[in-house]
Amino acid sequence: MPDKKQLHLTAFMRPVSLHTGAWRYPGAYPDANFNLKHLISFIQSLEAAKFDAFFMADHLAVLNMPLEALKRSHTVTSFEPFTLLSALSQVTTHIGLAATASTTYDEPYHIARRFASLDHLSGGRAAWNIVTTGNPESSKNFGRDEHVEHGERYKRAREFYDVVTGLWDSFADDAFPRDPESGVYVDPEKIHVLNHKGDELSVKGPLNIARPVQGWPVIVQAGQSEPGRQLAAETAETVFCGPRDIEAAKALYQDIKGRAEAVGRNPNHLKILPAALVIIGDSVEDAQEKRLKLDSLVHYDSAISSLSIALGTDASKYDPDAPLPKDIPETNASKTSREGVINLAAKEGLTVRQLASRLGGYSGLAFVGTPETVADEFEQWLNEEAADGFTITFPFLPEGLENVTKRLIPELQRRGVFRKDYEGTTLREHLGLPRPKNRFFT
């Protein structure tokens, strides 16, 4: 047992970078998000660095964005998670494989089956990121004019989770004698028929696949709203969240772990892994310069519209190369967003153009510095209970990814806060999570 608290690290890999300028960075693979050879090399680097998991977000539509943003977006074409992760399961041996799947526009029997199959194919490395699907455009691809209403989505999600985990428990772990002598392949006493009939779903079962290697694939959740947090507390084993800074992260950490305790769960069995952009340089200034360079690759037309939305006012009338004017009007749009942007411009001394590019590129949590300064920050977050680790999004690939795997990770290993080797073979083992008992069989 390591004596220091351990970080858990997951790589956010669909899209391969959340920064919209990533594919244009000098030396980056423009097609990194949709080139299998590259994706294989990335996952193998991540596995060599002992990452807990490779994580794929998912969307059931081309994201709705203005044409200017759409034509510059490397997310327009991506692999579908189940197919890609199944392929990647065969070129890796240990790293976890986390797929996002929607409870709003899919069926529990399909979801239970695909994750069970992926878990068997990968020797116990699957995780399910439960989402209710944020993008309203999705509804139009599934026979509806309007997106399913938010409360209704979360109600279905909660019941969907019960059904999927119930289907995973269809077979006892020892249900298959497969005895050629007696001719008994499966013991019918060890098959459970779910017969679920609820408000939202009616599913008979049993599943047509043996219980997953991990019992249940690891449950991941990323909702931020009140019902999103409650769902996380009741069901999730890792939470991907997007706090802006360490203070917000601590509050969220307390909130979710507290809710988990309140429903009788062990809060250690729920790992909080905020999403973060990580940019490593030879010096802090070098890393900051990379970030400015990367931001500058966001086209001004899409950047300025992001800034206008964030400020709640048309920002295209301002001089792009001057500081943000002092007199930004207050409007009906979000005050928090307007103030956050004004503070950011002041703190980093950004011009309107730089500010717009930041917002159009990636404006979430970021760690920008040397392996040492970023490791310091990671340790601080870990020790102050702001996070149990991170969901890292890379600035550009392959270089930005290699800077993490070859420079930051060795520093974290040297400090004893990140594994030097995998100790188990399943994702549950990497994350220190128990294997769930089968609710129908002992």
Interacting positions 273-302 with ligand FMN (CB under 6 A): 275
Tell me the angle at which helices 300-311 and 352-361 cross, rounded to the nearest 10 degrees. Answer: 90
Closest distance of CB 67 from a second copy, Å: 6
Interacting positions 130-149 with ligand FMN (CB under 6 A): 131-134
Based on the shown chain and the rule CB under 6 A, indicate whether residue 59 belongs to the binding site for ligand FMN.
Answer: yes
Of the candidates 270, 252, 272, 271, the residue with the CA atom closest to the CA atom of residue 261: 270
Interacting positions 212-271 with a second copy (CB under 8 A): none
Based on the shown chain and the rule CB under 8 A, indicate whether residue 36 belongs to the binding site for a second copy.
Answer: yes
Based on CB atoms, which residue is closest to ligand FMN, 107 or 173? 107
Interacting positions 139-178 with a second copy (CB under 8 A): 140-144, 171, 176, 178
Determine the Cα–Cα distance for residues 122 and 324; give it in Å rounded to an integer: 51
Among ligand FMN, a second copy, none, the one that 84 touches (CB under a kind-dependent 5 to 8 A) is a second copy
Based on CB atoms, which residue is closest to a second copy, 2 or 30? 30
Residue closest to ligand FMN, measured at CB: 228
Cβ distance 124 to 165 under 8 Å? Answer: no
Sheet arrangement for strand 126-131: 271-272, 238-239, 218-221, 126-131, 96-102, 53-56, 8-14, 389-393, 275-280, 366-369
Based on the shown chain and the rule CB under 6 A, indicate whether residue 224 belongs to the binding site for ligand FMN.
Answer: yes
Cβ distance 94 to 426 under 8 Å? Answer: no
Stretch that binds a second copy, among 108-116, 264-272, 336-344, 400-408 (CB under 8 A): 108-116
Based on the shown chain and the rule CB under 6 A, indicate whether residue 17 belongs to the binding site for ligand FMN.
Answer: no
Cβ-count burial 325-334 (b if 16+ within 10 Å, e if not): eeebeeeeee
Q: If 0-12 CB within 10 Å is exposed, 13-18 middle and 19+ buried, where does residue 185 land? A: exposed
Based on the shown chain and the rule CB under 6 A, indicate whether residue 241 belongs to the binding site for ligand FMN.
Answer: yes
Cβ distance 256 to 269 under 8 Å? Answer: no
Stretch that binds ligand FMN, among 19-27, 205-213, 239-247, 371-379 (CB under 6 A): 239-247
Closest distance of CB 135 from ligand FMN, Å: 6
Cβ distance 273 to 11 under 8 Å? Answer: no
Determine the Cα–Cα distance for residues 88 and 283; give it in Å rounded to an integer: 35
Interacting positions 66-105 with a second copy (CB under 8 A): 67, 70-74, 76-80, 82-84, 86-91, 105
Based on the shown chain and the rule CB under 8 A, indicate whether residue 186 belongs to the binding site for a second copy.
Answer: yes
Based on the shown chain and the rule CB under 8 A, indicate whether residue 183 belongs to the binding site for a second copy.
Answer: yes
Based on the shown chain and the rule CB under 8 A, indicate whether residue 338 belongs to the binding site for a second copy.
Answer: no
Q: Which of 41, 391, 405, 426 is close enough to bind ligand FMN by CB under 6 A? A: 391
Among ligand FMN, a second copy, none, the one that 391 touches (CB under a kind-dependent 5 to 8 A) is ligand FMN
Cβ distance 117 to 214 under 8 Å? Answer: no
Closest distance of CB 429 from ligand FMN, Å: 23
Determine the Cα–Cα distance for residues 307 and 324; give it in Å rounded to an integer: 11
Cβ distance 27 to 402 under 8 Å? Answer: no
How far from the centroid of its chain's Cα atoms is residue 171's Cα?
30
Q: What is the dihedral of CA 307, 310, 316, 318, to 10 degrees?
A: -90
Among a second copy, ligand FMN, none, the one that 367 touches (CB under a kind-dependent 5 to 8 A) is none
Q: If 0-12 CB within 10 Å is exposed, 13-18 middle and 19+ buried, where does residue 18 land? A: buried
Interacting positions 83-102 with ligand FMN (CB under 6 A): 100
Closest distance of CB 342 from a second copy, Å: 28
Based on the shown chain and the rule CB under 6 A, indicate whether residue 242 belongs to the binding site for ligand FMN.
Answer: yes
Footprint on this chain of ligand FMN (rule: CB under 6 A): 57-59, 100, 131-134, 222-225, 228, 240-242, 275, 391
